Amino acid sequence: MDQGLGFFESMSFSVRQARLIRSGVSSQLAEGRENRHQESTYRSRYAIQVCDLRGFNVSKLASGGIRTGLTMTSGLEQEQSSLMKRLAKVAVRSLYTLGLDSGEAIVSTYGERRYVLEKITPFSRLQEPKLLGLYHQHQANLHNALRMEKRNGIQLMMGMDPEFLLIDSYSMEVVPASDFLERAGEVGCDAVHMGGITSFPVAELRPEPSLQPRGLLVELMHAMSSASQMIRDRSLMWKAGGMPVPGLPLGGHLHFSGIVLTSDLLQVLDNYLTLPVMLLEDQSSLARRPHYGYLGDFRRQPHGGFEYRTLPSFLVSPLVTKGVVCLAYIIVRNYKKLMLRPLEQERIHSAFYEGMKQPIRDCIEPLFRDMRSLSDYSKYSKYIDPLLDHMTSGRSWDESRDIRPLWNVPVL
């Protein structure tokens, strides 16, 4: 149950605090006690229980840490209030950042939507019988799901929704994607909330999911063709990457279903996919983090799958896109065989968030050897090998570039 406890305990409080802050978690960890020095200014304090990437129980804490009631015991975040969902997300993110699968997070609210982590308690140190019973129930559910998966095999379905921006080639200003696209559909637009105003500047490709990466790439090309027909102004540049325009971060979200989401799976995606991709990112792309593009960013989907949200928009070129899709596919299918965790090292973790590529370049070859040793690597090597070679070349993608010529989209 306490997977990751050894890693958690190997860190000093100052290292834990630094790791959390670096990852975008507001934290005021207090060594060996709950942080009370600003208790009078708290709006509310909560204890959130987390088991295997789920926040399943939220207790409001009264003065002195007394629990005033238990809520959210179903574990179905979608059915709870927005406050409960936000608290659960902070707690899951905090424990994951410190390597823990299960435990309790004490979180305080300061005004509107500001959450500060006070304390983390691993599962093995919890003593409340009622809570321990809930933990065992959740752990049993996960064990049964993994047993069924092993018996029936993985039926992996993969999808994606990479984003791009439309740029006026004369003024270099963003043209809202909503000028051409509806919100829903194979090609749509995504919302941005800034200063209390919601706009839809970001274009998004949503190809049909597929059981094979080649099928997904075919669907992506169809979506790209549809986008070309819908965005009729040929003078507009299309730009992808992490943040081709300041203040507008882009994502290359990957969707998976037919496989059980675990902390191990998420760690493998961070270490074997996101870490190498970082070597290709433009310097401007690094500005996404840690608010966007942080390690372990995921979202469960109503259909039972999940969305991995850490990557920037990989539409920067067909070479990168094809390599990322195929690499992600074999990583997820074989994640239990991939055991290296360079991101547990402080210098690698900080290098990722600070944009320092050399430490990551120094640790990348063992990851590549692991991936090349997988039995199904050869099936997709013609797509993945060019990507890995690109990663070791020292070159970065150019987010100022119009991606249309690379994708054979007509231009003026």
Q: Splitting the chain (412 residues) into consecutive groups of 10 residues, what average pLDDT does each group show?
A: 84 95 91 52 84 92 68 46 90 97 93 87 91 92 95 95 96 94 93 72 97 98 96 96 95 97 97 98 91 96 93 97 98 97 98 96 97 96 97 94 96 84
Cα–Cα distance for residue pair 322/330, rounded to 1 Å: 13
Q: What is the pLDDT of residue 303?
A: 82
Q: What is the pLDDT of residue 79?
A: 42
Q: What is the pLDDT of residue 195?
A: 62
CATH 3.30.470.20 residue window(s) in the chain: 5-147
Beta strands 115-122; 67-71: pairing state: unpaired
Q: Which fold has domain 157-407?
A: Creatine Kinase; Chain A, domain 2 (3.30.590)
The SS3 call for residue 410 is: coil
Nearest residue to 311 via CA among 279, 345, 350: 279
Q: What is the pLDDT of residue 77?
A: 43
Q: How many CA atoms lie within 13 A of 322 on its CB side?
A: 17
| Longest pairwise C-alpha distance within the chain | 69
Nearest residue to 237 via CA among 67, 386, 33, 407: 407
Question: Distances in Å between the alpha carbon of 62 and those of 58, 70, 81, 98?
Answer: 13, 12, 20, 27
Reported pTM? 0.93
Q: Give the CATH architecture of domain 5-147.
A: 2-Layer Sandwich (3.30)
Q: In angstroms, what is the C-alpha Rg of the chain?
A: 22
Cβ neighbours of residue 159 closer than 8 Å, sequence gap 6 or more: 206, 207, 208, 209, 210, 216, 254, 255, 256
Cα–Cα distance for residue pair 209/253, rounded to 1 Å: 13
Q: What is the DSSP letter of 213?
A: H
Cis peptide bond upstream of 129, omega within 30: no
Q: What is the pLDDT of residue 302?
A: 87
* Element of type H or E holding 293: none
CATH 3.30.590.20 residue window(s) in the chain: 157-407
The SS3 call for residue 148 is: helix
Contact status, residue 229 vs residue 283, Cβ threshold 8 Å:
no
Q: What is the pLDDT of residue 76?
A: 43
- According to DSSP, the residues that pair with 188 across neighbouring strands are 204
Cβ atoms within 10 Å, residue 288: 20
Cα–Cα distance for residue pair 72/85, rounded to 1 Å: 9
